[in-house]
Amino acid sequence: MAAFYRQMLVDLDRGLRPNELEAMKYLCADDIPLRRREEINRALALWEVLEERQLLSPLDTHFLKSLIRKAAAGRDDLVAIISGYEQQLPASQSSAVPYAGISKDFDIIVEGINIKKWRTLARRLGLSDQVIDNLAEKYHGNIQEQVRQALILWSKGDGVSRESLVKALKSCEMNMTAHKIETLAQPNKASS
């Protein structure tokens, strides 16, 4: 899979026009500092920066596809390269929803998050400090979006389940939120 992923990135690099690369760099202004963007002279260099910032990976090409659609409008050939790669991913590695109700679980967590505990929760879910810092920088001042994006990143990993989410919440002493999610999972269970 890694070789096919790298080949896709090379094919995109070859297909991009210079003005499209410049537009992509401009659209990344919120994610990549100016000095770093000025150093980028090829799409391959941009892909590397996006990977460093956790915005691009073999299992997550959504940001790249969105970027190309905006910067290279009408270039269906470039979008088709990404789509062709995504179709080659095994079903278990596609962007399928890990379990039913995950979106509602995320809503409950985002609504009830304690500002002081979101980073701890993200760490307990296995996100690195670098990823957490990138989210805090990218969504500065919007704790709820930082939390939602952290949960989305977690949901793309291995071992994703409602049980593991509840366990992480309880380990952060977010017991009421954990209870709400457990109750949501069992709607026919009588409340005590």
Task: Look at residue 92 in the predicted model and tell me its pLDDT.
Answer: 42
Strands (E), the chain: none
**Mean pLDDT score of the chain, rounded to an integer?**
85
Backbone angles phi, psi at 60, to 5 degrees: -140, 100
Task: Look at residue 113 in the predicted model and tell me its pLDDT.
Answer: 87
Full-model pTM: 0.51
Distances (CA, A) of 115 to 39, 46, 70, 174: 36, 33, 33, 12
Pick the more confident residue, 54 or 45: 45
pLDDT at position 27 over 70: yes
Model confidence pLDDT, tens digit, residues 66-94: 899 899 988 999 999 988 887 776 544 44
Pick the more confident residue, 136 or 21: 21
Helix (H) or strand (E) holding 20: helix 18-27
d(CA 162, CA 105): 8
Task: Look at residue 90 in the predicted model and tell me its pLDDT.
Answer: 57
pLDDT at position 101 over 90: no
pLDDT at position 25 over 90: yes
- DSSP-assigned beta bridge partners for residue 60: 57
Task: Look at residue 190 in the predicted model and tell me its pLDDT.
Answer: 44
Task: Look at residue 192 in the predicted model and tell me its pLDDT.
Answer: 44
Cβ-proximal residues to 43 (8 Å cutoff; 6+ apart), any chain = 9, 12, 13, 16, 21, 24
Model confidence pLDDT, tens digit, residues 103-150: 888 889 988 888 888 999 999 998 888 888 888 888 888 888 889 888
